[in-house]
Amino acid sequence: MLLVCYGMHLLHRQTNLPHILSLYMRHDYAGLDKINNSVQWQGHIALDQAVFPENTPGFLLDAFARSSLWKIGLDYRHGTGHGVGAALNVHEGPQSITFRFGNMTPLLKGMVVSNEPGYYEDHAFGIRIENLLYVKEVNTPNRFGGIGYLGFEKLTFVPIQIKLIDLPVLSIAEIDWLNDYHSEVWEKVSPLVDGSARQWLWNNTRPLITQ
């Protein structure tokens, strides 16, 4: 298992997307690394799907990403998300999603933040997946107190290494999220690649269960 932090600095935008990769051809991963990776994915999915009132500071969303780990008595020491600049710094505030209460900056429409829960076992292994999210308006059936609601739109489309996930840990809804995400990855990326790269993409974005 390899944790790689990579990204690009482009003319009008930046990317930042650590992912873990399987280096084995076999499919028999087991143990704490696989279980903890599955649980941190539950937190990633929960934050990705979060809906929250406008003017909500980022620290109030941090528990979405940590709660699945908390349920098994685990946590991580780093922040869950940071702001990403359009053309300056890949770590660029003032927005963030963190357990530190000092930053009261609300998440606003148009901001970009990272979604990167993880888990690090001292002297053993580390797990972190980072996708970028765009803060957008969300239509809700109600607007209590006349307040609007916000959510996230995905900006990162990279396949998830399914062989590193213990699928029984996930709910049907979470597996549906993975299938929907991989469908988007295939739709957006497959026209840009061919040959062995396209075959690899297909092998890593096929549905996990029949819909």
DSSP 24-45: -SS----SHHHHHHHHHHHHHH
The CATH number given to whatever domain includes residue 85 is: 3.90.230.10
Q: What is the pLDDT of residues 160-206, one digit of tens each?
A: 888 888 888 899 999 999 999 999 999 999 999 999 999 999 999 99
Q: Number of folded domains in the chain? A: 1
Reported pTM: 0.85
Q: What is the pLDDT of residues 116-162, one digit of tens each?
A: 998 888 887 778 888 999 999 999 999 999 999 999 999 999 998 88
Residue 72 lies in a domain: yes
Please, is 72 exposed, middle or buried when counting C-beta atoms within 10 Å of its C-beta (0-12, 13-18, 19+)?
exposed
Note down the domain range covering 101: 2-162
Residue 183 lies in a domain: no
Residue 64 lies in a domain: yes
Residue 169 lies in a domain: no
